[in-house]
Each structure stands twice: as structure tokens, then as C-alpha cells.
A and B are shown apart, each in its own frame.
Chain A
Amino acid sequence: MELDDLKGLINQKLMEGSPKMTENNFTLLLKGQASSVISKIKKSLWFEIACCALVVPLFLGIALFSSQSSLKIYFSLFGIIFIPFTLIFFYLLRKINEFDQSVLPIKENLYQLIKMLEDFTRRYFQFNMALLPICFLVALFLGYNEKEPIAVLDNLIDKLKVTKSLYIGFIVGYSIAMIFGLIFLTKWYIRKLYGKYIDQLKLLLAELKED
């Protein structure tokens, strides 16, 4: 029972049940939507770019026209940080488009696809994480410099008889929990979206290692 003996029959069997397509069918197929991971990433990148394109002028506008210095600092920092990320997203999109139009050997294709996905997820993670320290430090700085007391918060602290050291401990604990929670959540989310797929591709690539 050798493969060579059954070549013709297996070839026939591989065609069983396949409908004959006409040129009109193909014309219709070309109008359809792609559902590959690459096309999903492209959509995701376009979404990020659109968000950045909206947010950058909006935030810089607020920073420019706001009368409050805290708002100026906050929105100008965010407006500025979105600019390099917009450029990075455009760069990734260009790379993905180039890859999408190329027809590489299977091994090279797998390698490039894994590299691209890892690059995308890394940048996506960095983008999200870059906002964290800025949010945190800016909030600390602005809160420290805020001259107006917040009555509700002061009353609560008085009522609970919170000591200064306990208060600082709570702030530090809350900040650490928040930062690690967000890092974990972002990592989990990215892994859920692409992690399993990258692992499967890596297994396929490992199979093609030269003996």
C-alpha cells in the first residue's frame, strides 16, 4: 500500500465534490472580504490610525485653547505621544501591505508572518504601556499642585481618621495594583487575540527546520 501506487486515485479523490466555478463566480469572489489574520490586523491598524488622527488635533487643540495649566499639560503630553505612534502604525501597515502582496516560499512566509505578528503585538503593548506612566505621573504631579482642596475627599479622610502614612500606603498600594493589573490585563488581551495563533505558526515553522 504505497503512496505511489494510489497517486492517480488520491488525486481524483481530492477533486470529489468540488463545484465547477465559472468566471462570473470568480468575479463575485473578488468582491468579497478577506478573513485572514493579516486583514484583521490591517483593520485594527487603520482603526488605531483613525483614532490617533482624531485624538492628536483634538488634544492639542484643548491644550492650546484651555485656560487651565493642568489641562494644558495633560492634553499636550497625550497629544504629542500619539504622534510617534501614528507613524509607527503607518510603518507597520506599509510592511503588512508589502508582505500581503508577496508570494514567498512557505518557510519564509511563516517566518515573516510570525515576525510581523510579534512586531505588531509588541508595538501594541508598548503603545498601551507608554500611556500608563504618563497618566500616573501627570496625575500625581497635577494632584500635588492642585491648590483647591477636594471637600468630599477631605471629609472622608477626617471621618475615617486616616493617618498620613496609611494614606500614602494606600496610594502606593493602589498605584502598584493598578499598574500590574493593567499590564496583566493588556498582556492577557493581546495573547488572547494573537498568542495562540503565533504559537501554532511557530510549531509549523519548527517542523521546517533543516535536519
Chain B
Amino acid sequence: MDYSEKEFIQLLNQNQKIVHKVCNLYLNWQEDKEDLFQEITLQAWKAYSQFRGDAKFSTWLYRVALNTAITFFRKDKKNAFIATVSEIPDLAHQLDRDPIEDKTKAMYKAIADLSKIDKAIVMLYLEDYSYAEISEIIGITANNIAVKMNRIKVKLREATLKNFERI
């Protein structure tokens, strides 16, 4: 193993949460997630020679991971991810029902139903990236990101309410 490969693996190992999160956000089935994980790893390795270090490795990895996930399509299965509300255990009959947990699940489902592009914006927003940083990764203006984010928030609020009532 040469030095750059070792260095790359160390960096990827330290930042593996990013790849896991992207895989979990975009795909539902374990097998597909593993395929996407490998695809992101290989894509990052192929592009690593172009990584100059002028951006943080984590930001660069987000860009690689999101580009790969967005253009990654599976033929046989739907891209619907995570458990749908109907698959979430019916908590109504449980006495120790946790409203915060229910709200999180409802919000999680709402994020799952967003488009691939909106998911990418939400993911970066959850990581506390500024609109300017998100705009660099997505490739549209910061103003546009702010507009999109406001719309996404409204969409999520409504969808979460609906999902919460169904739990």
C-alpha cells in the first residue's frame, strides 16, 4: 500500500460517518446501502489525486458522496428509504410512548419523502453548513439555497404533522 492510499484510508476512516449518513439517507435496503458505500469509497479514491487540501476533507467527501448518491439509481427497488410510517411499530398501544421519538420518526419519514436534491440540502443543513458553503457544494447561489431551504422547512412541517397523526 503506498503512502497516498494509506493517507486516504485514514482520512476516510475518520470521516466514515459522512458516508454512512448519505447511504442511510438515500437508500432503504441494506444491500443497496453497501453497494452505495463501496461506490462512494471508490469514487472518492479515484478523485483523491485531485484533492488539494484547500477545502476540508469532510466537505470534499460530502461533495463526492452526494454526487455519487444522487446519480446512483437502482433498477428493481424503489428509492423509498428507511421504514415507511406503516412499517413503524404502532406505538399507540404502548403505554410508554415517547412523543419526542414519535416526532423524530415522523420528521425522518418526511425527509425520506423529499427529492434527492432536497435531501442533499437538508443533509448539509443538518451538519450546520452555512448557506454559502451549501451553495458551493450544490452549485447554485446562496440566495437560492435560502429560498429552497425555507420551502423545504414548510414541506417538512406539513408532512411531519401528517406522519405524526398516522403514528
What residues make up the interface of A, taking CB atoms closer than 8 Å to B? 1-3, 6-7, 9-11, 13-18, 20-23, 26-27, 29-30, 32, 34-37, 100-110, 113, 197, 200-201, 204, 207-208, 210-211
Q: Which of B9, B63, B104 contacts A105 (CB 8 A)?
A: B63
Q: Is the interface of B mostly helix, strand, loop or mixed?
A: helix
B46 near A: Cβ within 8 Å?
yes
**Contact A106–B21 (Cβ < 8 Å):** no
A18's contact among B12, B20, B115, by CB below 8 Å, is which?
B20
B86 interface residue per 8 A CB criterion: no
Known contacts A36-B71, A208-B138, A208-B139; is-contact A103 B64 (Cβ 8 Å):
yes
Give the size of the chain B interface in residues (CB under 8 angstroms). Answer: 68
For residue B94, CB closer than 8 A to chain A, the reply is no
Q: Does B58 contact A (CB under 8 A)?
A: no
Query: Whose C-beta in chain A lies nearest to the C-beta of B106?
Result: A1
Q: Determine if B73 and A200 form an interchain contact, defined as CB atoms under 8 angstroms apart.
A: yes
**What is the distance, in angstroms, from A98's C-beta to the closest C-beta of chain B?**
10
B47 touches A101 (CB 8 A): yes
Q: List 15 A-B contacts (CB under 8 A).
A: A3-B122, A7-B126, A11-B126, A15-B24, A26-B12, A26-B13, A27-B9, A100-B43, A100-B46, A101-B50, A103-B50, A105-B63, A106-B139, A110-B70, A208-B140
Chain B contacts for A26, CB-based, 8 A: 9, 12-13, 41
* A34 contact set on B, CB distance < 8 A: 38-39, 42-43
Question: Which of B23, B71, B104, B120 is the most central at the interface, judged by chain A CB atoms within 10 Å of its CB?
Answer: B71
Q: What mask results when residues 122 to 153 of chain B are scored 1 for a CB within 8 Å of chain A, else 0?
A: 10011100000000111111001001100011
Contact residue among A6, A102, A201, A210 (Cβ-Cβ distance under 8 Å from B140): A210
The B8-28 residues at the A interface (CB cut-off 8 A) are 9-10, 12-13, 16-17, 20-21, 23-25
Given known pairs A21-B13, A106-B66, the reply for A6 and B103 (CB within 8 Å) is yes
CB contacts (< 8 Å) of A107 on chain B: these are: 138-140
Contact A16 B139 (CB under 8 A): no
**Contact between B68 and A21, CB atoms less than 8 A apart:** no
**Residues of B contacting A23 in the complex (Cβ-Cβ under 8 angstroms):** 9-10, 13
A2 and B157 in contact, given A34-B39, A37-B71 (Cβ under 8 angstroms): yes
One of A15, A16, A105 near B137 (C-beta < 8 A): A105
